[in-house]
Chain A
Amino acid sequence: MMNLSGPAVAVRDLRVSRGGAEVLRGLTFEVPRGQVTGLLGPSGCGKTTLIRSIVGVQIVGSGEVTVLGAPAGSPALRRKIGYSTQSAAIYRDLTVLENLRYFAKVLGAGKGDAERVLEEVGLAGAGDRLGSALSGGQLGRASLAVALLGSPELLLLDEPTVGLDPVLRQDLWRLFQSLAERGVTLVVSSHVMDEAARCHRLIMLREGEILADGAPGELRERAGTVDLEEAFLRLVEERAESVR
């Protein structure tokens, strides 16, 4: 039985080491259901490792990750989570639709689901093109489409908007918000601060630690600035001073 009332994701004192270095240094936070939570921070801050830990494909050192009421990586979660990696995980020697139909069958998604997600990411005209013939942005959207198959309860998207033009980025953020309105929980990582304002909630990461965790408005208020990039910098300074 899944716990339907608790948070979508609960992380407690999560520590992960990769190649001898500690990448995540004791993270504790919760992700509420039906919201878009942004995972922000510079490249190398641990965003990807954190997302992989929530999906359950990362070997973790210590701590607890609970997803939809079950330990991360549980077999029961495998149909409930949609996951899109930073580099497009699709077959380059298949067409976009062939990719989607294959993953749809693996997930046990219904007929017509491939066409639905193709439409949702704005690739309806490119269904018959081979993966190898797509642009970087199209590849990323094809990979995102796979994550949307089977209508998962929780979507974990690692940098889904990298390399997209502003119009497409806006379309995708509208899609994320409409998914959240339908009750889907989204965790979206980004290193672009202007995307942060579109999230219900932000978790700012730096060097494997949480720098700040709250609604964009709260973080602006705490840092005393309207600009989130500026807020990030001030919070970094604040942290450095408190350590000193």
Chain B
Amino acid sequence: MSPAITFATAGRILAQLRHDRRTLALLVGVPSLLMILLRYVIDDPASFDRLGPTLLGIFPFVVMFMVTSITTQRERATGTLERLMAGPLGKFDLLLGYALGFGAVAAAQVAVVLAISLTWLGLNVAGSVGTLVLVAVLDSLLGMALGLFFSAFARTEFQAVQFMPAVVLPQSLLCGLIVPRDAMASWLERLSDVMPLSYAVEAMGEAARTADLTGVLVRDILIVAGCVVLSLVLGAATLRRRTG
């Protein structure tokens, strides 16, 4: 493990985004725009207070999944990954660098969307804003870790993009956003029990509902953090020093 390589990699990710202003604008702008749309589509402050925080957890998850899977796929295709793997870099140096770099972007994204929601859109949050940001950033890291893992199965950027709906949409449908999980058919509920986004979304709802650190919140945070670590380990296993 080398902190110098980890920080260099995080800096490199941020430098790449700095040269790509349009992507940066989309990363921060699109979730904000969607939140504004949601507020006026619902047009009912009580429902918005319930749904808003949930979406605040889903946006960074989706965006980071996509950005990471394409970045990693591109890194494989251009040969920079092979170059790094032939050098002294450790797999976790690279993965932690990704986590730091993209995590910083996710934090900025969450901060902007939350600021707009709390002021202009009049979102009422009974819980602590700090906990909300923490859980949202954790959700984004979950998206990043899963994106990294699934990118190993994409041969082209085109396939990498297709993995987004394949992995993200079923989880979004079953996470309790549309129909509460305990109101779904039992086999669907059981399916949602093994999907990490269910816990990510529940944690966001819980963090918004109360300022207390409830048992459910702690359990959900631990589950999501566990899924992040598991996905990173699986992601590391897909980074090969030798290929065919």
Contact = CB atoms under 8 A, between A and B. Distances in A.
A73 B19 contact: no
A91 B88 contact: no
Interface range on chain B (Cβ under 8 Å from partner): 20 to 34
Given A59-B244, A85-B79, A75 B16 contact: no
Interface stretch (B4-12, B30-38, B109-117): B4-12
Contact of B85 (A18, A57, A93, A107): A57
A156 B242 CA distance: 16
A146 B4 contact: no
The DSSP consensus for interface residues of chain B is helix
Interface in A73-122: 73, 75, 78-79, 81, 83, 85, 87-95, 98, 102-103, 105-108
A106 B84 contact: yes
Contacts of A85: 79, 82-83
Interface string B88-104: 11000000000000000
A18 B244 contact: yes
A90 to B, nearest CB: 7
A79 B80 contact: no
B215 interface: no
Interface of A: 18-19, 55-59, 73, 75, 78-79, 81, 83, 85, 87-95, 98, 102-103, 105-108, 130, 146
Interface of B: 4-5, 8-9, 11-12, 15-16, 19-20, 78-80, 82-89, 241-244
13 contacts: A18-B244, A58-B243, A83-B86, A85-B79, A85-B83, A89-B78, A90-B78, A92-B78, A93-B20, A102-B11, A102-B12, A106-B89, A107-B87
